[in-house]
Structure 1
Amino acid sequence: MKKLLFLLFILGSFGSMAQVKLGLKLAPVVASNRAKNQAQTVENDGSKMKFSVGLVADQTLSETYFLSSGLIYLPKRVAFRDATGTVEEEYKLQYLQIPATLKLFTNEIAPDVKGFLQIGSALEILVFNEEEDPSYTTVEKFNPIDIPVILGAGIEYRAGINTTLFGGFSYQRGLVNTVKEAEAAFEDLQLRNTVFSIDLGVKF
């Protein structure tokens, strides 16, 4: 909790600077994962829609370049099954995400409307995990962090002197194997997260 309050304080301090705009984001996300092991006997077991919410902070680097960060609550789903159907498991993971991305803006494509591309990465800190059926768990421990590549695009609409609405989508591809320890039969299990997100929000 102290770390969370410290991060919020830092973001608030940045927000007092004229070149930084703070905002709120709500994002429906489709969370899934890529599953594999050396014997290639496991596979992904579908995806699920969840909701992400958090603070965003965009700092001006130039008229068309912005450094975008924030503090985002991001739930994910890890689910896999083996080829025989004897193992079928689902885990709920919850992260605090601190993105570090670059936004590249176009000129106005309509009055007060600009498009943007977004590229970068993030540090994600695991704050909660739960197995859907705790009676049997293949994954004994998850990695405490994940680092995804983030690619996105969208538009911003200046609705007033100090208010900007934005909408877009992003693809987040996790690079870290979320499995830290697993039972002996699946000790080489690899699960990497994938998230598709529809990003909606407002900046002030």
Structure 2
Amino acid sequence: MKKNVLLSLFILLGVYQGYSQRYTYESNYGRNYGRGFFSRFYKLKIGFKFSPGFIINYVDASKNFKTFASNGANVRLSLGPVVDMYITDKYAFSTGLWYTVKSVNYTMHGSFYDNELFKTTPLTAEEIRGTQANFNLQYLQVPITMKIFSDQILQDTPLFLQFGGTLDLKIAEKAMDKPRNALFQYQERLASSQSIFGLGDVGLLLGIGGEKSLNRGGDAFFFGIQYQRGLSEINRDRSFGDLVTKNGAFYLDFGVKF
């Protein structure tokens, strides 16, 4: 897990540095982007965001997992570079690359252990019958969104509406409290070793926020509230198709743009 975190942070740092170098070049030589992709945009703003959030799970379970339900919300973190490519002063295409940790927490009835897998392979001395199953999932998120700005509400603080989606690539999953984690114990007894969760997710993103200028050079502090809702099932179909889980999240966004 530590290796995955370090690799993710290295990727984020590299992307941010590359964007920063591009921005420095553009600041020194003007907004002439040539005939390439960036020539379509009025201006380019690079930044970095830090977003604590509440993760919510939506669970629909049947058959072997019929007693499973969501076990409440948890606080997790999302951070990484943001890139706003302005079409005009009021419209911008916004993307980035975010390292995001999401939690998945289940609660279930003790009758889950009446499953044939546990009858065939009973719990070991190190394992304990549990009524919860908690996991941390690490993703690299690529937002694909639009921002609409308005400077008519608060003076010197343009507000924006953000909408679009995210592409989420899972880079790691970790079972918490393994000796008591009922779903991890179930996974360990499957004939073929496989992860519980799929390779990624596709989500909806809606947000609202504002930007406060820090100086005349265009640097700004930004803040906002963001809602994300996963649109696809994150459990693997092969052995966990009867356990349908989708994620939702509310984030508080804080960051700077240059």
| Interval of TM-score (by shorter of Structure 1 and Structure 2) | 0.7 to 0.9
Partner of 2:84: 58
1:28 equivalent to 2:52? Answer yes
The answer to whether the 8 Å contact 2:235/2:241 transfers is: no
- How far apart are 1:81 and its partner, in Å? 2.1
Q: Per-residue deviation at 1:58?
A: 0.4
1:7 Cα shift? 4.7
CA–CA distance in 2 between the matches of 1:195 and 1:130? 19
Matched, 1:46 2:72: yes
2:79 and 2:103 map into 1 onto residues whose CA distance is 16
SS of the equivalent of 2:178 reads: coil
Number of the residue aligned with 2:169: 125
Cα gap change, 1:108 to 1:159, in 2 (>3 Å):
farther
In structure 2, stretches of 5+ residues that fail to align are: 1-6, 32-42, 113-130, 188-193
- What is the TM-score when the length of structure 2 is the normalising length? 0.70
> Following TM superposition, by how much is the alpha carbon of 1:83 offset from its aligned partner in structure 2, in angstroms?
4.8
CA contact (8 A) 1:113 1:157 kept: yes
Going from structure 1 to structure 2, the CA distance change for 1:166 and 1:33 (only over 3 Å counts) comes to same
- Partner AA of 1:32 in structure 2: I
* Aligned mates of 1:9, 1:144 — CA distance in 2: 27
Residue identity matched to 1:195? A
CA contact (8 A) 1:153 1:169 kept: yes
Unaligned runs of 5+ in 1: none
Structure 1's 85 and 158: CA in aligned 2 closer, same or farther, altered over 3 A? farther
**What amino acid is the match of 2:251?**
S
CA RMSD of aligned residues (A): 2.4
Please state if 1:145 is matched with 2:200.
yes
Summarize deviations over 1:116-156 as a string: whole Å, max 9, x none.
Answer: 11000011111111001334514642211111100010111
Q: Are the aligned partners of 1:26 and 1:201 in contact in 2 as well (CA < 8 Å)?
A: yes
Higher helix share: 2
Q: Is structure 2 residue 154 aligned with structure 1 residue 154? A: no
Q: In structure 2, do the counterparts of structure 1 residues 8 and 200 end up closer, same or farther at CA, with 3 Å as the change threshold?
A: closer
Shift of 1:13: 6.2
Q: Quote the offset at 1:50 in angstroms.
A: 1.6
Conservation of the 8 A alpha-carbon contact between 1:43 and 1:83:
no
Distance in 2, Cα, partners of 1:11 & 1:129: 29
CA distance in 2, matches of 1:181, 1:9: 39
Secondary structure in structure 2 of the residue aligned to 1:4: helix
CA deviations on 1:144-188 (whole Å, 9 max, x unpaired) are 1111100010111112123111111010000121111564xx541
In the superposition, the TM-score normalised over structure 1's length comes to 0.87
Distance of 1:110 and 1:174 partners within structure 2: 32
CA distance change for structure 1 residues 182 and 32 in 2, over 3 Å: closer, same or farther? farther
Larger radius of gyration: 2
Q: Does 1:163 align with 2:189?
A: no
Q: 2: CA distance between counterparts of 1:49 and 1:119?
A: 23
Distance change >3 Å, CA 132–CA 61, structure 1 → 2: same
The offset of 1:9, in angstroms, is 6.5
In structure 2, the partner of 1:4 is 11
Which has the larger share of strand? 1
